[in-house]
Structure 1
Amino acid sequence: MEAESERTIAETRRILAEFQTQPSNAASDKALPTAWYVTGARPEDYEFGVDTQVFRSGRASAFIEARPGAKEFASLAQVFKADAYRGKRMRLSAMLKTRDVANWAGLWLRVDDALHNVLAFDNTADSRSSSGTQSWVHRDVVLDVPREGATIRIGFILTGEGRVWCDDVKFEEVGLDIPVTRNIEELRDHPENLGFEGGTG
């Protein structure tokens, strides 16, 4: 079961990093919070909207809820120009609340260049994910926005069954003392084991 869960998380990371996140027609525009759009591998398996009964602050939160038999994942997202953020370290943070989430829910942040190549990406599909039934918890992603960045995409995601609420979203510059959180493997500074005698693994 744990191996299957790890495979699902790895696959979702790969899809989100490669996915050309285009708006979907899966939900009526009237149901969506202003400025947000629906995307994902199977958004038709999910419902989206604004909840004025469950929220952490203010008067509303946004939610994603799986329909029976939901597969893959869906997300509420925004896309905007990277111009004002190039060369800066940015943090996407939000409060998430879950109910009966069988797989995981979380945040994601992606920076693309003008040709839609992914320059930077991270999500919370690791120890920072939310699952099961949890009260409001803080989640965040921190990335450097490259000078070549053209667009930034932010969103929250639900994979599999359950419901996730999102509130208090912030996108703000942070200092270099705040480490980036990207979960892709860092490149080595120098070549290693060129004689192939350094063992395996």
Structure 2
Amino acid sequence: MPFLTIVGPIVGAVVVAIVTYLTSRPRMRAEVRKLEAESERTIAETTKILSEFRVRSSNVVGDNALPTGWYVTGARPEDYEFGVDTQVFRSGRASAFIQARPGAKEFASLAQAFKADAYRGKRMRLSAMLRTSNVANWAGLWLRVDDALHNVMAFDNTSDARSISGTQSWDRRDVVVDVPEGGASIRIGFILAGEGRVWCDDVEFEEVGLDIPVTRNIQGLREHPENLDFEAGAG
């Protein structure tokens, strides 16, 4: 009897734990899937906005002059300030920056646009060194190729795992796309979404070999297909 008195509660606790585990697994999986779906939706929405917004220049630059050759664009450029910083830079004597104003929403970008003629049929990489201070949402790079009617032919940005947030020292980010033969214009830029400040320096736009993979939609993908006969059961 003493033995059963001791063992009984232990067995009961184990059974309860097993039942709880088995019944909670579907709920846990559902929560994980929900979080993954929300993350993917956020990235997709950001990508859609960036790939579809029509370039609109802005004269809102605060007390600073824009870097030569660059213009301001974005969903709400009026919520941000832009300029050249001669105190903070990675190399040379200056960097460019985007600074959010209090209550900044959406995103803004410093960008360039140029003809695609010299780059058609090539794999091109946009890279830059970025530094951030108190970035609440994210900062990163983007690259877009349009046809003559301004339809998007190729696009990528670093709003995924390649984005930067918080306060980070200089770090490299890059975007790699194939420029279609029908490409007419190329737009490149760096972006700040939400509060904080981002600096950009040492921008490069260069051709790379086919051994360098394009970066669009490859983050987190498996190397090969799996369970093609559906015999592995449910995930």
TM-score range for the pair, normalised by the shorter chain length: 0.7 to 0.9
- Measured at CA, do residues 29 and 98 of structure 1 come closer, stay the same or move farther in structure 2, by a change above 3 Å? closer
The structure with more strand, counted as a fraction of residues: 1
Residue 231 of structure 2 is aligned to residue 174 of structure 1: no
Of the three residues 51, 64, 71, the one matched with 2:98 is: 64
Of the three residues 101, 124, 129, the one matched with 2:135 is: 101
Is contact 1:94-1:169 (8 Å) kept?
Answer: yes
In the TM superposition, what are the counterparts of 1:74-85 in structure 2 within 5 Å? 74-85=108-119
CA deviations on 1:83-135 (whole Å, 9 max, x unpaired) are: 00000000000000000000000000000000000000000001100000000
- Structure 2 counterpart of 1:133: 167
Is contact 1:98-1:132 (8 Å) kept?
Answer: yes
In the TM superposition, what are the counterparts of 1:113-192 in structure 2 within 5 Å? 113-183=147-217
Partner Cα distance (1:8, 1:56) in 2: 31
Partner Cα distance (2:218, 2:45) in 1: 13
Three-state SS of the structure 1 residue aligned to 2:48 is helix
**TM-score w.r.t. length of structure 2:** 0.75
- Structure 1 counterpart of 2:48: 14
- Structure 2 counterpart of 1:50: 84
Residue 200 of structure 1, CA deviation = 9.9
Is contact 1:78-1:154 (8 Å) kept?
Answer: yes
- Structure 2 counterpart of 1:90: 124
User: Bigger relative contact order, structure 1 or 2, given CA contacts below 8 A and separation 6+?
Assistant: 1
- Measured at CA, do residues 157 and 200 of structure 1 come closer, stay the same or move farther in structure 2, by a change above 3 Å? farther
Please list every run of 5 or more consecutive structure 2 residues that lacks an aligned counterpart in the other structure: 1-34, 222-227
In the TM superposition, what are the counterparts of 1:35-46 in structure 2 within 5 Å? 35-46=69-80
Partner Cα distance (1:53, 1:33) in 2: 15
CA deviations on 1:155-175 (whole Å, 9 max, x unpaired) are: 000000000000000000000
The structure with more helix, counted as a fraction of residues: 2
- Measured at CA, do residues 29 and 14 of structure 1 come closer, stay the same or move farther in structure 2, by a change above 3 Å? farther
Three-state SS of the structure 1 residue aligned to 2:154 is strand
Three-state SS of the structure 1 residue aligned to 2:105 is coil
**TM-score w.r.t. length of structure 1:** 0.87
Residue identity (%): 81
- Measured at CA, do residues 28 and 65 of structure 1 come closer, stay the same or move farther in structure 2, by a change above 3 Å? closer
Is contact 1:5-1:103 (8 Å) kept?
Answer: no
Residue 28 of structure 1, CA deviation = 6.9
